[in-house]
Structure 1
Amino acid sequence: MAHDILKSSDYSRHKPNEWLIDTLSIVNPFTINDESLLNTFKNKVIKTLASWNDEKQYEKLVSTIENRIKYRLLLLKLHNSKFYLSKLVKQVTLDSFLLSILNVNANEELLTELPDLIIHLWKNCHDKNAQNRLQQLLVANKYQFSQSDTWQQIQTILSNHSNIISKIAINDFDEKISNPLNIIIPGWETMWRVVFYSLLELLRQPKLLSELRLQLNNHSKSYRNCLLLKWILKETLRLYPPTKNIYRTNVKTGQNVCISVLKIHRDKNVWGFDALDFNPYRFNKELTAQQEKSYLPFSISCPARFSFAYTFAGAIVAEILKYCSTFNVAEESTPLPSDQLLDLARNSYNDLLTIM
């Protein structure tokens, strides 16, 4: 049913996301309902990500991620080789995303402050001080972004659809068009959560972690060929989808529909008696037709649904594990729950101290 609605021409994307427009000044096709803008934007992103299909480009991606992890660990490592996993994941994912996708070498203030500011504003959207600081960070990196061909091309796409965008984003139109968060939010915000929850589940399942390490060693830097890693990412996206709800409007009746991806992904009638268990081996076999249609971590239009999530997030997970040979929760840290699903709030487990 949900898949049919998303595919049907009888349903359109919901009204503009005013929160993202007003709070983060975003005017990308994921906040504004326009099929032409969505398709043009999506095709550009797909073309950019397709370069990773080339083996040399993929090796370059992994090398970039490896270097960023080593650097971040040096900055974040506390005494006795301990670090806050949340900070590492958020900063490494942002740093790697900017360098790999946009070829932007952002300054240290942006890399360390922007993740927490965005997450803070998600819950405190009226905090003007946080909004102003966010804009200061972006302005301070304006030159770096101006040198990115990919970002300039995306800006051009947004500008070419100004007739649509200007009807919704009336105030500060030019600033919204040139806001790098238009590409950072849909890329980074999704990926850090996939990486983080994959690692959290591995911390809860030592046997699975050991098996993954063994398989990763066999694949060296060809992480995308590691099936278990891909299954883990897929299972993470099933139990902890970055998009919990998708909204659509029936163009004929005007009826609004909320598709609960979270509920569908955890439905025992679809996934079986162990639907609430983290079991990546369920992807070892072909999914049923019902499961195929019910697996919607990126809806059906997001470019990440093809290979981006598994290529990018997989490389980060693998490289973090490579440089964290112990990878345990520190004794002084609050242990992760062992008999229930993890909390999906964006600020959950911020204080989780991990041993390298």
Structure 2
Amino acid sequence: MMSVEVLLLVIFVGAIVSYFLLRPRGIGEDTGGMTKLAPIEDWDPIVALKNSTVAMRAARVGAPTLKSLWRLKNPFVSDSVELQLSYRQALYKALAKVDDSAWRGIARVVADAVRPLLFRCTAPDGVCITADLRQVSLNTSLAAVLKALFNIDNIACDKLSYVGSEIHRITTEGKRHALTADASKDIPEDVRRSADTLIQALQDVFIDAAVSTELAETILYRVSGSPPPEEFNPLNLLLPAFEAPWRSILYTLLAALQPGPRSPEYALTLRNRPPDRSPDPQSLAIAYESLRLYPPIRRISRVLKIHRYRSDPAGPIDLGRDRATI
């Protein structure tokens, strides 16, 4: 159930972003019948992808560093079975409420997040739209997650840009520190201060929005041991919900918008899908391929005690008792 909703979220955000990147101008505005997208000056998409995936390449090495840097208490890896169960139940309930009406609300929030990031220039042969696709992916993914999980929908574009960019920048800095000769030393003070400042900014967002969803009440405030406005860390839920999917959105946009004979077809397929209808086969194919290349949930492998299976092939294997690695 959760994977289906995550898939739809990625498809939907990609569709809304593609629509606003490529839609014609309003009535009375001459576009010349053509809309083109141009990257920002001196922006190399390959460099952007390399910078975006450095965290994934160093994931295992840098995990302890990031846990300390972000002050994470992830319920998924908690020793409390009760806490893990309450986390999943609250998450399932939150995602189950994402119906047609909720999708329209998410569409509005994503549209508001992407508009200020687009720069249009009218030319005789059409309209050229310039956009930083990485920033577009960060802002729209963050806006969608905040709306879908916490019903937060009034965040200004500059705040979204700050939060999304800082999560990526600080995460990358933390991972790079973990790969250097100084990995055994403390995290640089300026990086830690930046992380603390970001956490405080997110706390203010949740307090100002008076977030009281079951997901927040059950997990965010309970994990920290105290309800708001005391100490709690929104990144415990926001980071796993946002960090990987925004890259999936970036991959999808780069693939759909790069020059090629099928590019207009791919872009229009995403752009023309209404939020209250099921995705058509081509939209699903684009989304599945993007998710295959960069899944929003890290792969899980388990080390089974194979001798137990050989001794009783017909008997059940309690995977919960075997060691799992993520």
Pairing 1:121-136 to 2, within 5 Å after superposition? 121-125=170-174, 126-136=187-197
Matched, 1:182 2:236: yes
8 A contact 1:215–1:228 mirrored in 2: yes
8 A contact 2:203–2:232 mirrored in 1: no
**Separation in 2 of the partners of 1:151 and 1:138?**
19
Matched, 1:157 2:205: no
For residues 282-331 of structure 1, what are the alpha-carbon distances to aligned partners after superposition, in whole Å with 9 as ceiling and x for unaligned? xxxxxxxxxxxxxxxxxxxxxxxxxxxxxxxxxxxxxxxxxxxxxxxxxx
**Separation in 2 of the partners of 1:68 and 1:127?**
32
Indicate how the Cα distance of structure 1 residues 110 and 220 shifts in structure 2: closer, same or farther if over 3 A, else same.
closer
Q: Who is 2:263 aligned against?
A: 209
SS at match of 2:300: strand
CA positional deviation for 1:195: 0.7
8 A contact 1:89–1:195 mirrored in 2: yes
Q: Who is 2:108 aligned against?
A: 63
Matched, 1:47 2:101: no
Q: Which moved more, 1:122-131 or 1:39-48?
A: 122-131
Pairing 1:281-296 to 2, within 5 Å after superposition? none
Q: Who is 1:87 aligned against?
A: 135
Give RMSD over aligned pairs.
3.9
SS at match of 2:73: coil
Letter in 2 for 1:124: E
For residues 181-215 of structure 1, what are the alpha-carbon distances to aligned partners after superposition, in whole Å with 9 as ceiling and x for unaligned? 11211111122011111112223473443333444
- Count of aligned residue pairs for this structure pair: 232
CA positional deviation for 1:22: 0.7
Q: Which moved more, 1:219-228 or 1:82-91?
A: 219-228
Pairing 1:134-149 to 2, within 5 Å after superposition? 134-146=195-207, 147-149=209-211
Indicate how the Cα distance of structure 1 residues 154 and 235 shifts in structure 2: closer, same or farther if over 3 A, else same.
same
**Separation in 2 of the partners of 1:252 and 1:188?**
36
CA positional deviation for 1:224: 3.7
SS at match of 2:289: helix
CA positional deviation for 1:145: 0.2
Indicate how the Cα distance of structure 1 residues 149 and 176 shifts in structure 2: closer, same or farther if over 3 A, else same.
closer
Structure of higher CA gyration radius: 2
CA positional deviation for 1:96: 3.1
SS at match of 1:114: helix
Q: Who is 1:193 aligned against?
A: 247
For residues 151-210 of structure 1, what are the alpha-carbon distances to aligned partners after superposition, in whole Å with 9 as ceiling and x for unaligned? 574243355567xxx8xxxxx9x9997101112111111220111111122234734433
CA positional deviation for 1:243: 4.6
8 A contact 2:113–2:140 mirrored in 1: yes
Indicate how the Cα distance of structure 1 residues 256 and 38 shifts in structure 2: closer, same or farther if over 3 A, else same.
closer
Pairing 1:163-312 to 2, within 5 Å after superposition? 178-204=232-258, 206-216=260-270, 219-222=273-276, 224-243=278-297, 245-246=299-300, 248=302
Q: Who is 1:111 aligned against?
A: 160
Letter in 2 for 1:238: R
SS at match of 1:149: coil
Matched, 1:73 2:118: yes
**Separation in 1 of the partners of 2:274 and 2:87?**
34
8 A contact 1:29–1:38 mirrored in 2: yes
SS at match of 1:234: helix
**Separation in 2 of the partners of 1:65 and 1:123?**
25
8 A contact 2:103–2:275 mirrored in 1: no
Q: Who is 1:96 aligned against?
A: 144
CA positional deviation for 1:108: 5.2
8 A contact 2:166–2:198 mirrored in 1: no
Q: Is there any run of 5+ residues in structure 2 with no aligned partner, and where?
A: 1-59, 121-127, 175-186, 308-320
Letter in 2 for 1:39: L
Indicate how the Cα distance of structure 1 residues 250 and 112 shifts in structure 2: closer, same or farther if over 3 A, else same.
same
Q: Is there any run of 5+ residues in structure 1 with no aligned partner, and where?
A: 1-13, 167-171, 260-356
**Separation in 2 of the partners of 1:153 and 1:83?**
34
**Separation in 1 of the partners of 2:295 and 2:280?**
22
Indicate how the Cα distance of structure 1 residues 117 and 66 shifts in structure 2: closer, same or farther if over 3 A, else same.
closer
SS at match of 2:295: coil
Percent identity among equivalent residues? Answer: 22
